Amino acid sequence: MRVVKGGSREQWADFVAETLIARLQVRPALRLCLPTGLTPVPIYDRIATAVAAGRVSLGHAEVFLLDEFGGVDPDDPGRCDQMLRRFLVARVDLPEARFHRFTLAGDIAAECDAYERSIGAGCDLTLLGLGGNGHIGMNEPGAAADSLTRRVDLAPETTAASARYFSHDRLPTWGVTMGIGTIMRSEEVWLLAAGTNKAAIAARTVREPVSDSLPASWLRAHPTTLLIVDDEAGARL
C-alpha cells in the first residue's frame, strides 16, 4: 500500500478528482466502484463540474455502488444509492443502465450473488472511504479476505456513525456490501481518508499487522492500492 499525501483538503480533492478524470480520459469505458459517505463528496463535486465543462464524460463508464443500507425506505435521502445519485450520478452523463446498485426488494442473497457475478473479473478502479473502526464498504472487523458481496450486520459504532446521513433516528443495523475479495479483484484501489478524525485509523491501517480485526489492512496485500490522505488524516503517517 503506497501512501500519497494530498495536501490540504482542497488540494487532496483536486488531486483525486484530476487523477480520476485522467483515468477516464484514457479509458472512457472505465468500470468504477464508488462509495458514498461524506469523504468523496468534494471529489464528486469536482467530477460533476468537469463533466459540465466538457472536460470528461462518464457516457461510456460503468459505476457499481459499493454498498447499501438495509431496512431503509427506497427513497430515503440517506440510502447509499440516493446519496450517490444526488452527489454525482444526477449531475453527470452516466447512462442509467450503467449505474449498478442494490434494490433490496426481493431475495437479498440472490441479489448479492447476481451483483457479484455482474462485477465479473473485477472493477478497473475502486474508490473507498475508511471507517473509524477500519471498515471498508460495510466489511466490518471480522470480515474475511475472501468475502464476496453479501448481507452483513453493521458494527454498533457504524450504525451510530450513520446518523450523519439520516434526518431521522431509525438508523440501519445491517446492509449489503461488496466483499473484501470483490474489492481485491479491482485492478486499482484508492483508499481515501480526510480529516483529523481519520488520522488514527489511517496510521493503524498502514502499521498494524494485516488481520481481519482491521479490514482495511487487507488492502496491503493488494498490488496497486493507494492510501490517499489529506494533511489532517495523514498527520501520523
135 is a catalytic site residue? yes
Nearest residue (CB) to ligand F6R, 30 versus 193: 193
Segment contacting ligand F6R (CB under 6 A): 25-33, 98-106, 133-141, 229-237?
A: 133-141
Q: Which alpha helices (DSSP H) does 189-234 contain, by range?
A: 199-207
Residue 37 makes contact with ligand F6R by CB under 6 A: yes
Residue 47 near residue 21 (C-beta atoms within 8 A)? yes
Q: How many CB atoms lie under 10 A from the CB of residue 132?
A: 14
What is the helix (H) or strand (E) element at residue 180, kind and residue range? helix 180-184
Site for ligand F6R in 76-95 (CB under 6 A): 80
Please state, in angstroms and rounded to a whole number, the distance separating the CA atoms of residues 131 and 137. 8
Residue 56 makes contact with ligand F6R by CB under 6 A: no
Helices 41-52 and 9-26, axial angle in degrees (round to 10):
50
| Closest C-alpha among 158, 117, 132 to residue 216 | 132
Residue 172 makes contact with ligand F6R by CB under 6 A: no
CB of 53 to ligand F6R, least distance (A): 26
CB of 153 to ligand F6R, least distance (A): 14
133 is a catalytic site residue? yes
CB of 178 to ligand F6R, least distance (A): 9
140 is a catalytic site residue? yes
Q: Which of 76, 133, 139, 230 is catalytic?
A: 133
Residue 43 makes contact with ligand F6R by CB under 6 A: no
Residue 135 makes contact with ligand F6R by CB under 6 A: yes
Q: Which of 67, 76, 111, 230 is catalytic?
A: 67
At which residue does the C-alpha cell 482491521 appear? 214
Helices 41-52 and 80-87, axial angle in degrees (round to 10):
40
Q: What is the DSSP string of 13-54?
A: HHHHHHHHHHHHHH-TT-EEEE--SSTTHHHHHHHHHHHHTT
Segment contacting ligand F6R (CB under 6 A): 29-37, 96-104, 201-209, 228-236?
A: 29-37
Segment contacting ligand F6R (CB under 6 A): 15-23, 49-57, 123-131, 140-148?
A: 123-131
Identify the DSSP state of 225. -
Residue 175 makes contact with ligand F6R by CB under 6 A: no
Contacting positions for ligand F6R (CB under 6 A): 35-39, 66-67, 80, 129-131, 135-138
Catalytic residue IDs? 67, 133, 135, 140
